[in-house]
Amino acid sequence: MVVICFGTRPEVIKFSSVIKELSERKIPFKTVFTGQHKELFDDVSDLVPAPGYRLDLMKKNQTLNHIVAAIAQKLTPILNTLRPTVLLVQGDTTTAMTSALCAFNMNIPVGHVEAGLRTFNLNAPFPEEGNRQIISRIAAFNWAPTELSAKHLKAEKCSNVEVTGNTVVDMCHNLNYKGEYGNTVLITLHRRENFGEKMKSYFEQIETLAKRYPKLEFVFPMHPNPKVQENRDLLKHVTVTAPMGYFDFLKAVSKAKLIITDSGGVQEEAGTFKKRILLCRPNTERAEGVKAGFVQLVPDNLIEAFEKVIHNPEHNIDNPFGDGKAAERIVNSMINRFPKLNKHD
């Protein structure tokens, strides 16, 4: 049996193609939803079967350590009961890191989907950079989305490194949305390291741009985090909405003229739809987009960066993050290591 742990909307999205592949091959699995993004789960719940286990651990104003302790306390007896052949985690969330550590401490092999992303700065992004480095060191499988990610893992002497592509590209390929260049500047900002004065500065610059370019529609589906919402009143000329449903958001990405974000996954999705990104961060663990030329790091001066690209945003750069077959490669990798999975253990 395979156990899959997830807690955030991106994890559900990026696991959906893996779960679909397991289902089609009739390989037994159970899912555990920690509830780390409980308020955003309903939007993507149809992508996966109802969770076999829901931990519902989130409480108001709890710290990262509270989340770690709650996951460890609630997940351990579940794993004791199921004793899976392998436990899968995705990315770099607190859910992923803690679930992987629980399994490792119980001598259960861990498979890490989207392994090897690195900034080599534990403070940016925080705590994600630390989380993914911890997972890679203890994982039995490190499924890297790109050759660069695999290079990082091999340099760290991590186990069983295999390049698979990114599972979110599987999702985008399945939707067949047509990429167009409309009149919208799509915005998402939510990263912890941008909270405070940095976030306020980005908001002020976005408002300046919205006033300067009235023929463009600046659309900002705003994250519910209070640290983001506290700057909402600065945006007088921006269309601020509640967080979009995932498929609505992908449609918006596919039709946008330009994207302003500090997100990780949006870089991969935008690459599929051939959109330029102004990335409001000093670095990125997805350097492939920067090297390819459609992602530009913007640690400070968003206005200057925007004005350099807005008049010529179109490009035809191939997406470096995958070809839509990542889930197939991941499941093949598990079966090669544990043939009994294919015998419905």
Q: Residue 201 and residue 333: Cα distance in Å, rounded?
A: 45
Tens of pLDDT, residues 322-336: 999 999 999 999 999
Does residue 290 register a pLDDT over 60? yes
Q: Which residue numbers are catalytic?
A: 92, 114, 128, 190, 192, 223
Look at residues 303, 326, 114 and name the one whose alpha carbon lies nearest to residue 202.
303
Query: What percent of the chain is predicted at pLDDT more than 70?
Result: 98
Q: Pull the structure tokens for residue 34.
A: 């920690």
pTM, full prediction: 0.83
Q: Residue 47 and residue 233: Cα distance in Å, rounded?
A: 34
Q: Where in the chain is the domain with CATH 3.40.50.2000?
A: 2-165+325-343, 174-309
Domain 2-165+325-343 has CATH 3.40.50.11540: no
Does residue 201 register a pLDDT over 70? yes
Look at residues 51, 54, 48 and name the one whose alpha carbon lies nearest to residue 23.
48
150 within 8 A of 156, measured Cβ to Cβ:
no
Longest dimension (CA), the chain: 62
Q: Identify the architecture of domain 174-309 in CATH.
A: 3-Layer(aba) Sandwich (3.40)
Tens of pLDDT, residues 211-265: 999 999 999 999 989 999 999 999 999 999 998 988 899 999 999 999 999 998 8
Q: Residue 298 and residue 216: Cα distance in Å, rounded?
A: 20
Q: Residue 75 and residue 250: Cα distance in Å, rounded?
A: 32
156 within 8 A of 312, measured Cβ to Cβ:
no
Q: Give me the pLDDT at residue 210, please.
A: 98
**The amino acid at 38:** K
Buried b (16+ CB within 10 A) or exposed e, 245-260: ebeebbbbbbbbbbbb
